[in-house]
Chain A
Amino acid sequence: KQEVTQIPAALSVPEGENLVLNCSFTDSAIYNLQWFRQDPGKGLTSLLLIQSSQREQTSGRLNASLDKSSGRSTLYIAASQPGDSATYLCAVRPHGGSQGNLIFGKGTKLSVKP
């Protein structure tokens, strides 16, 4: 059974710092991995999607990497801003079997202090 773990559960940093969020998954047979942002009481906003054949994806100050063989992904946020404060969720889409659902971690709650 695929399980997704995110470490740390919470992180507080001063504005301007670079930071890394970690995601690990137990089964390397994935179709893709997706990082989401969730603001309190709101839905999810997709940040980056990495296909299983890719190593990384970049969007602005965000860079996500994928090491499928070791079951790990990282989300790197450069020059953090208070507006980056949110919960960041990692989700994998399993390869084979169910083609529909995403399996999520519990998220990392990020707080960026001015």
Chain B
Amino acid sequence: DTGVSQDPRHKITKRGQNVTFRCDPISEHNRLYWYRQTLGQGPEFLTYFQNEAQLEKSRLLSDRFSAERPKGSFSTLEIQRTEQGDSAMYLCASSLVSHPQYFGPGTRLTVL
């Protein structure tokens, strides 16, 4: 087990395009989280799953954002009609219930 992995590590896109990120959690972890981090700030919570169920969504997660975890394993985060304000590092974490969260390396998104 090599920990949480994210793909791609970097994504550059033009405003208005759709992008999709993938997160593969630690295999036995049933919880998976998405966070967004902008320069000079701490990560901000977006959403989390327990198994395949999406249990909570932050108000930061606008209608242009959608996350899925169809089989309770990997997850995808899609951003539709990207805006320059979406430029950030998107971090994924996984955990067992009531255990520490382990973070992946992040996907850095740049919207031109």
Give the interface of A toward B (CB within 8 A). 4, 34, 36, 41-46, 49, 89, 91, 98-107
Determine whether the beta carbon of B43 is less than 8 Å from that of A104.
yes
Q: How far is the CA of A28 from the CA of B26 in the complex (A)?
A: 31
Determine whether the beta carbon of A104 is less than 8 Å from that of B91.
no
Chain A CB count within 10 A is highest, among B6, B31, B48, B50, for B48
Q: How far is the CA of A91 from the CA of B93 in the complex (A)?
A: 14
**Whole-angstrom distance from the CB of B97 to the nearest CB of chain A?**
8
Residue of B nearest to A97 (CB): B56
Chain A CB count within 10 A is highest, among B4, B89, B103, B105, for B103
Determine whether the beta carbon of B91 is less than 8 Å from that of A98.
no
Q: Please report whether the interface of chain B is mostly helix, strand, loop or mixed according to DSSP.
A: strand
Q: How far is the CA of A107 from the CA of B33 in the complex (A)?
A: 20
Determine whether the beta carbon of A46 is less than 8 Å from that of B101.
yes
Question: Contacts A100-B31, A101-B33 hold; do A43 and B58 have CB atoms under 8 A apart?
Answer: no
**Whole-angstrom distance from the CB of B108 to the nearest CB of chain A?**
7
Those 6 A-B pairs whose CB atoms lie nearest each other, nearest first:
A104-B42, A101-B45, A100-B48, A44-B103, A43-B105, A43-B103
Determine whether the beta carbon of B101 is less than 8 Å from that of A41.
no
Residues of chain B contacted by A100 (CB below 8 angstroms): 31, 33, 45, 48, 50, 55-56
Determine whether the beta carbon of B45 is less than 8 Å from that of A103.
yes
Determine whether the beta carbon of A101 is less than 8 Å from that of B58.
yes
Extra pairs beyond A41-B108, A101-B48, A106-B41 (13, CB < 8 Å): A43-B4, A43-B106, A49-B100, A89-B42, A91-B43, A100-B31, A100-B33, A100-B55, A101-B33, A101-B56, A102-B101, A104-B44, A106-B42
